[in-house]
Amino acid sequence: MKNLGILLSGRGSNFEAIARNVAAGGIPAKIALVVSNRENAPGLDLARAMGLNTRFIPSQGKDREAYDREVVAALKECRVDLVCLAGFMRVLSPYFVRAFPGRILNIHPALLPAFPGLDAQKQALEGGVKFSGCTVHIVDEGVDTGPIVCQAAVPVLENDTVETLSARILKEEHRIYSAAICLMLEGRVRIEGRRAVSAD
């Protein structure tokens, strides 16, 4: 059984969807550790309520790599195989990325490479696109640049607000994150340059 490590900073709805799929047997893995850099993150409370192994590792005032060394040590201690960023509001240092090469996933609320970075849903609305969506990608040393594992598209409606578009995208996030985790755990993803291709 492979071990998952979840990193979050806030609400934790993606974490919750993953945890429910793990509990239901839909993801062949165990959640070995949930880390939050914010003590008051609702996702951290939820993980505690679910009886999972959690760690609050404060990031405030710490140098990026020093912080990442603490998190990597905790993940290694719990023998984590795959790290899932689930609303973790920090850019990882090269040290972190190299500690789990090709074994860190992130979910982004846009169809990358469109609208990377913060406020992706607002960027999509302002950009006037007719479709947006979400992307699960492998984390490399850039910001939202790594090989794409799964994507889902949703329409952008003329009367959408950031809230309504975000809600439509979030539903798809909850679905494709677990699907991408399964593909990774089953060894069905191979990296070819900048692309993640099916290893079947």
Nearest to 18 by CA among 147, 105, 144: 105
What do you get for the CA distance between the two ends of the chain, in Å? 21
Residue selected from 12, 133, 146, 147 as contacting ligand GRF according to rule CB under 6 A: 12
CB nearer to ligand GRF: pick between 147 and 193: 147
| Binding range to ligand GRF, per CB under 6 A, among 54-62, 102-110, 149-157, 178-186 | 102-110
CB 124 within 8 A of CB 105: no
CB 140 within 8 A of CB 85: no
CA distance 84 to 177: 9
Q: Is 109 in the site for ligand GRF (CB under 6 A)?
A: yes
Residue number, nearest CB to ligand GRF: 87
Confirm whether 108 is a catalytic residue.
yes
Give, in degrees to the nearest 5, the angle at Cα 7 between 5 and 11. Answer: 130
Residue selected from 6, 13, 72, 140 as contacting ligand GRF according to rule CB under 6 A: 13
Task: Strands of the chain (E only): list them.
Answer: 2-8, 29-36, 54-56, 82-85, 104-108, 131-138, 148-155, 189-192, 195-198
CB 135 within 8 A of CB 143: no
User: Closest separation between CB of residue 112 and ligand GRF, Å?
Assistant: 11
Residue selected from 38, 108, 137, 168 as contacting ligand GRF according to rule CB under 6 A: 108
Selected catalytic residue, list 38, 55, 108, 168 = 108
User: Closest separation between CB of residue 132 and ligand GRF, Å?
Assistant: 12
- Helix boundaries (H) for 32-128: 42-49, 64-77, 94-99, 120-127
User: Closest separation between CB of residue 28 and ligand GRF, Å?
Assistant: 22
| Binding range to ligand GRF, per CB under 6 A, among 4-12, 19-27, 29-37, 187-195 | 4-12
Catalytically active residues are 108
Task: Give the footprint of ligand GRF on this chain (CB under 6 A).
Answer: 8, 10-15, 43, 86-87, 107-109, 173
